[in-house]
Chains A and B, each alone.
Chain A
Amino acid sequence: MSDPYAEQIRRLAAALAAGAADDLAAVLAAGSTPDDVRLFVEGNRSKRLEGLRAALAFLADAVDDLDPLLEAYLGRGPLPAHVTPRDDALRFLAWAERAADLSPEQLDHVVCQRARLRVEAAATADRAGLLAFQALREAGADLDPDDPDVAVHLNPVRVWARFATTALLDDDAAVPADVLFFAADGDIVTAVLEAEGQALLEEFADLAPCSLESWSAVTQHADREELVEICQDLAGMGLVAFGPIPAE
Chain B
Amino acid sequence: MLPAIGYALWRENRPALASPVVTAAEITFERAEDPLNRPATFDDARLDYVSLHALRLSPASPEPPAASYLDALLSMADEYGADAVSDHLGFTRDGSGGVELGHFAPPPFTAEARDATCRNLDAVQKRLAGRPFFLENIASLFYFQGTMTEADFLAGVLERTGCGWLLDVTNLYANGRNHGYDAEAFLARVVPVAPRIQMHLSGGFFDEKAGRYIDSHSRPVPDAVWDLYRHALRLGRGKVEAVFLERDLDFPDEATWLAEVAQARRIAEEVEAAS
Residues of A within 8 A of B (CB): 3-6, 8-10, 12-14, 16-17, 24, 27-29, 31-33, 35-37, 39-40, 43-44, 47-48, 78-85, 119-121, 123-124, 127-128, 130-131, 134, 157, 183, 186-188
With A4-B112, A5-B113 known to touch, is A40 a contact of B95 (CB < 8 Å)? no
Would you give the shortest CB distance from A85 to chain B, in whole angstroms? 8
User: Once the chains are docked, how many angstroms separate the CA of A17 from the CA of B101?
Assistant: 6
With A13-B91, A36-B142 known to touch, is A186 a contact of B34 (CB < 8 Å)? yes
Q: Are A29 and B145 in contact, CB atoms less than 8 angstroms apart?
A: yes
Q: Are A36 and B101 in contact, CB atoms less than 8 angstroms apart?
A: no
User: Once the chains are docked, how many angstroms separate the CA of A149 from the CA of B215?
Assistant: 59
Partner of B105, one of A16, A119, A124: A16
Chain B interface residue number, banded: 35 or more
A-B contact pairs, 16 of them (CB 8 A): A5-B62, A9-B60, A10-B98, A14-B99, A31-B179, A36-B212, A39-B141, A44-B102, A78-B100, A80-B100, A119-B36, A127-B75, A127-B76, A183-B36, A186-B38, A188-B36
User: Once the chains are docked, how many angstroms separate the CA of A80 from the CA of B56?
Assistant: 14
B258-270 vs A, CB cutoff 8 Å, 1 = contact: the mask equals 0000000000000
Q: Are B36 and A12 in contact, CB atoms less than 8 angstroms apart?
A: no
Q: Is B236's CB within 8 Å of the partner chain A? A: no
Chain A residues with CB under 8 Å of B61's CB are 9
Chain A residues with CB under 8 Å of B227's CB are none
User: Once the chains are docked, how many angstroms separate the CA of A32 from the CA of B211?
Assistant: 12
Q: Are A6 and B62 in contact, CB atoms less than 8 angstroms apart?
A: yes
DSSP class of A's interface residues: helix, strand, loop or mixed? helix
8 shortest interchain CB distances as A-B pairs: A6-B62, A32-B142, A36-B142, A13-B94, A29-B143, A81-B93, A17-B99, A123-B35
User: Once the chains are docked, how many angstroms separate the CA of A32 from the CA of B99?
Assistant: 23
> Given A12-B105, A16-B105, 12 other A-B contacts at CB below 8 A?
A31-B143, A35-B210, A36-B210, A39-B141, A39-B207, A39-B212, A79-B99, A79-B100, A82-B96, A119-B36, A130-B36, A186-B38
Chain A residues with CB under 8 Å of B36's CB are 119-120, 123, 130, 157, 183, 186-188
Q: Is B97's CB within 8 Å of the partner chain A? A: yes
Q: Which residue of A lies closest to B146 (CB)?
A: A29
Residues of B within 8 A of A (CB): 30, 34-39, 56, 60-63, 66, 69, 72, 75-76, 79, 91, 93-103, 105, 107-108, 110, 112-113, 115-116, 141-146, 179-180, 207, 210, 212
Chain B residues with CB under 8 Å of A81's CB are 93-100
Would you give the shortest CB distance from A110 to chain B, in whole angstroms? 21
User: Once the chains are docked, how many angstroms separate the CA of A236 from the CA of B207?
Assistant: 54
Would you give the shortest CB distance from A11 to chain B, in whole angstroms? 9
Q: Are B105 and A13 in contact, CB atoms less than 8 angstroms apart?
A: yes
Would you give the shortest CB distance from A22 to chain B, in whole angstroms? 13
User: Once the chains are docked, how many angstroms separate the CA of A151 from the CA of B165?
Assistant: 49
Chain B residues with CB under 8 Å of A79's CB are 99-100, 102
User: Once the chains are docked, how many angstroms separate the CA of A186 from the CA of B180?
Assistant: 48
Q: Are B94 and A9 in contact, CB atoms less than 8 angstroms apart?
A: yes
Chain A residues with CB under 8 Å of B96's CB are 81-82
Q: Are A36 and B141 in contact, CB atoms less than 8 angstroms apart?
A: yes
Q: Which residue of A lies closest to B58 (CB)?
A: A81
Would you give the shortest CB distance from A6 to chain B, in whole angstroms? 4
Q: Are B100 and A82 in contact, CB atoms less than 8 angstroms apart?
A: yes
Q: Which residue of A lies closest to B91 (CB)?
A: A9
User: Once the chains are docked, how many angstroms separate the CA of A72 from the CA of B141?
Assistant: 27
Chain B residues with CB under 8 Å of A40's CB are 103, 105, 141-142
Q: Are A28 and B142 in contact, CB atoms less than 8 angstroms apart?
A: yes
User: Once the chains are docked, how many angstroms separate the CA of A79 from the CA of B102?
Assistant: 9
User: Once the chains are docked, how many angstroms separate the CA of A29 from the CA of B175?
Assistant: 14
Partner of B102, one of A5, A6, A47: A47
Would you give the shortest CB distance from A155 to chain B, in whole angstroms? 11
Q: Are A186 and B37 in contact, CB atoms less than 8 angstroms apart?
A: yes
Q: Are B35 and A124 in contact, CB atoms less than 8 angstroms apart?
A: yes
Q: Are A134 and B212 in contact, CB atoms less than 8 angstroms apart?
A: no
Q: Which residue of A lies closest to B114 (CB)?
A: A5
Q: Are B91 and A43 in contact, CB atoms less than 8 angstroms apart?
A: no
Residue of A4, A127, A186 ringed by the most chain B CB atoms within 10 A:
A127
Q: Are B91 and A33 in contact, CB atoms less than 8 angstroms apart?
A: no
